[in-house]
Structure 1
Amino acid sequence: MSRPIPDNNPQGPAGPAPRVPDSTRDDVPYALRIAASWAWRIGLVIVVVGVLIWLLSYVSLLLIPVMIAALMAGLLQPVVRFLLKAKVPRGLAVGITILGFLGLVSGALSLVGRQLYFGFRELWGQVLEGVRQIQTWLMDGPLRLTSAQLNDYINDLLVQLQNNSSTILSSALTVGSTAGHLVTGLLLAIFSLIFFLLDGERIWMFLVGLMPRRARSATNGAGRKGWTSLVQYIRIQVFVAAVDAVGIGVGAAIIGVPLALPLAVLVFLGSFIPIVGALVTGFVAVLLALVANGWVNAIIMLAIVLGVQQLESHVLQPLIMGKAVSLHPLAVVLAVAGGTMVAGIPGALFAVPVMAILNTVVKYIAARGWEHDDALGGRLRPPDPVLQAEAGTARTTARTKRQKEAPGGDESGTATEDRNELPK
């Protein structure tokens, strides 16, 4: 019988290792070490996000139409579902939905265009009268400009236009290029919208299949929750645009501004374009009031436009939109401001939905929501990693116990026997 080997370690095999002094680590305060650890990690995240935004800016012509198509798909998906419940084939349901949507938008724009055209043609005399009133005010008002001075200013303006004709021409070419990009983006958005409504589920499951097997359930559930947040956002945005249109349209009708109905339609469509849409539609409303009814009516119309826009910015957007997408009102305001500074109008348009999706996805993954998500229906749900770890630990413990009881036993055979006895 072999004698046990004496243990020369008085503290036992599990005793703490002797601490090696580190003068450099001891000289750095603990708070500074923690701050430095956070600083380089946060800095790395900022650099990665900045590089991604910079790279995505080169494919904005491709990315923006696809994102717009995603927003429209979230808005039109209930219509397709309704048609499918009515036993309409999916392809036909998608075609009816998209054609109906395009017809509705085209009809609204046609109504606005025709009403504005005939309305401004009837108001052309009042426009000329307004120009004469401005000229009279410049001559008889506080400025006391003479006819010669006005002619000199007009001639100077014409000279400046001639001297900067090359710049104006290049700007016109830029506008033409932008218009071409808009047409290309519109066609790409419609094409993407068709396939989002037609094969959205298969496209999503293909993307989920590209993930590692252990991450597919989390990706699938988080993506579906993010899509739900996107749908809620676009529906609330439609409601906010309707409130703007009704507020400005009713206000214009009350004070006697002509073309109140097409003005309301124009405001509704413009509300989907942050900043620029509100400025353009508000300018049109004030201009109509100025041309038709004079300065006092124009000032009242301006007050109505500013009041409705302030209601949208400080009440509807932060409170209703923030509640719908589970974001704090301050987060909504900061998201719109930050998106505008980073990417202009597209940044303002997509800042809130992107933040809402990220917020939903992070919460879902942090709570391990895919483990108890009935919406997945068992699709792409691998065995629970915690249960796998517990089963592995049990197998290891049983194998070790058997090896101690029978040191000469076959380890591979014992492991095989354990796998046959323990549940997976």
Structure 2
Amino acid sequence: MSGMLSSAKSAAALRRVARISLDLLLVLVTVAAALWLVGRMWSVFWPVVVALLLTTLTWPPVRFLRRHGWRPAAAAGVVTLLFLLVVAGVVTLIALPVASQAGQLSDSVVAGIQQVREWAAGPPLNIGDDQITRALDEAVKRVQDSAGSVLTAFGTGVSTVVNGLVTAVLALFLMFFFLKDGPRFLPWLGRQLPGRAAVDVPVVAKRCWRTLGTFVRSQALVGALDAVFIGVGLWVLGVPLVLPLAVLTFVSAFVPIVGALFAGFVSVLIAWVSNGFTDALIVLVIIVVVQQLEGNVFQPMIQSRGLGLHAGVVLMVVVLGGNLAGVVGSLLAVPAAALLAVVWAYLREQLVPAVPEPAAVAPGPGDPAAADEA
């Protein structure tokens, strides 16, 4: 009899595992289909994502104006125009130093290459000039052989720039409409959905919007602080291209962990090429100190509640996003993971009933606690 019961329990357990496996397979197929659909519609999806990210940054001033009696269209239009002016000013401030210091930087690069050649010619490498010349000739030959690939890459780069401009224009128009009509979206969405979804979807969307806004605004403020401190250090040391490097530090703040490493590497490299090894080492120390202040002071103060993601999870999703979609994947990986965490938390709230706390029971006569109290 016990053998028959064990067989029945084993069969029931196998059926349960099979059902769970089937559910997981259906979920994975659904996710794969959703990702495939997003990839097919990426030309439309990407401007919407950019517009949402920009809207989280520009919504606070629009909300302020609307609370002080401005019409939605006027508030959205003024803020969009101011945003365009700020972006144009930043681009101008970056382009001018790059153009004025390009010759100095190129001379520094040549001098740095000569220093590397002299270092490589000495011990322990002992690489002669004939070996370096042979390597350069081989590189030139490979470039000549791949001229067609270079032209193809150039055409691809031009196409990328054009697509980027189109995406930017679409994102700006969408940002204006999001700022103008955003508060009316969730009530409209609730009226379009049937049954319980009319309540659940707007609630989840509101939580996701709050989380996305917290991430973007906090990262922008932390990135601005990093850019100011690192930029001042570069300026004091006389490193060229201070403003472009500061802007790169600010933009890289939106890619946690990996972005800081990349921006720091570029800053140290330019400092080494232009000013020498000692200044490059000082720049490295400045970057390390600022990053420590960011991790231990800035972010805990600015982003007190955080995103609910462990640092290891952040690192893994950034690497995964970079492998799947390059720079765009790295940029969107952390907010996407945070939004998934919000959705999962809401589902857990709805599907898993709250466990009631055990009621306090008075100790009986034979309870050791009663004896202690006595």
Shorter-normalised TM range: 0.7 to 0.9
Q: Is 1:53 matched with 2:27?
A: no
Instruction: Give 1:237 shift.
Output: 1.3
Instruction: Check if 1:285 corresponds to 2:264.
Output: no
Assess, with a 3 A threshold, how the Cα gap between structure 1 residues 31 and 313 changes in structure 2: closer, same or farther: farther
Contact 1:332 1:352 in 2 (8 A): yes
Name the amino acid aligned to 1:237. Q
Q: Does 1:356 align with 2:338?
A: yes
Q: Does the residue aligned with 1:257 lie in a helix, a strand or coil?
A: coil
Name the amino acid aligned to 1:110. T
Q: Give the corresponding residue for 1:33.
A: 15
- After TM superposition, give the deviation of residue 142 of structure 1 in Å: 4.4
Which residue in the other structure is 1:231 paired with? 213
The aligned length equals 347
- Give the 5 Å matches for 1:135-150: 135-140=117-122, 142-150=124-132
Query: Structure 1 residues 211 and 115 mapped into 2: Cα distance closer, same or farther (>3 Å)?
Result: same
Q: Distance in 2 between matches of 1:316 and 1:329?
A: 16
Shift in CA distance, 157/337, structure 1 to aligned 2, threshold 3 Å: closer
- 1:60: how far off? 1.7
1:169 aligns with 2:151: yes
**Superposition deviation, residue 283 in structure 1:** 4.3
Tell me the CA shift for residue 45 of structure 1. Answer: 1.0
Query: Could you say which structure has the larger radius of gyration?
Result: 1
- Work out whether 1:65 is the aligned partner of 2:47: yes
Distance between the aligned counterparts of 1:290 and 1:241, measured in 2? 23
- Name the SS of the counterpart of 2:254 in structure 1: coil
Alignment deviations for residues 347-406 of structure 1 (CA, whole Å, 9 cap, x no partner): 3322332333343344446546xxxxxxxxxxxxxxxxxxxxxxxxxxxxxxxxxxxxxx
Separation of aligned partners in 2, 1:170 and 1:276: 30
Pairwise CA distance, 1:211 = 0.9
Superposed, 1:297-316 pairs within 5 Å as 297-305=279-287, 308=290
State yes or no: 1:246 paired with 2:249: no
Report the Cα offset of residue 224 of structure 1.
1.7
Distance in 2 between residues matched to 1:153 and 1:341, nearest whole Å: 31
Which amino acid counterpart does residue 173 of structure 2 have in structure 1? F
Equivalents in 2 of 1:346, 1:352: separation in Å?
11
Distance in 1, Cα, partners of 2:47 & 2:85: 19
Instruction: Please tell me the residue identity of whatever aligns with 1:104.
Output: V
8 Å Cα contact 1:275/1:345 also seen in 2: no
On the 8 A contact 2:93/2:243 being kept in 1, the answer is no
Compared with structure 1, are the counterparts of its residues 195 and 81 closer, same or farther at alpha carbon in structure 2 (3 Å cutoff)? same
Deviations 1:98-149 (A, max 9, x none): 1211221221222122123323434555444434434444445644444444
1:47/1:297 Cα in 2 relative to 1: closer, same or farther (>3 Å)?
A: same
Q: How does 1:361-400 map to 2 (within 5 A)?
A: 361-364=343-346, 367=349
What secondary structure, in the 3-state scheme, does the structure 2 residue paired with 1:263 have? helix
TM-score norm. by structure 2 comes to: 0.78
Counterpart of 1:198, as a letter, is K
Which residue identity is paired with 1:212? Answer: P
Q: Residues of 2 paired with 1:38 and 1:150: CA distance? A: 61
Identity of aligned residues (%): 35
Structure 1 position 343, deviation (Å): 3.5
> Is structure 2 residue 161 aligned with structure 1 residue 183?
no
Change (3 A) 1:162 1:223: same
| Equivalent residue number for residue 387 of structure 1 | none
RMSD: 3.4
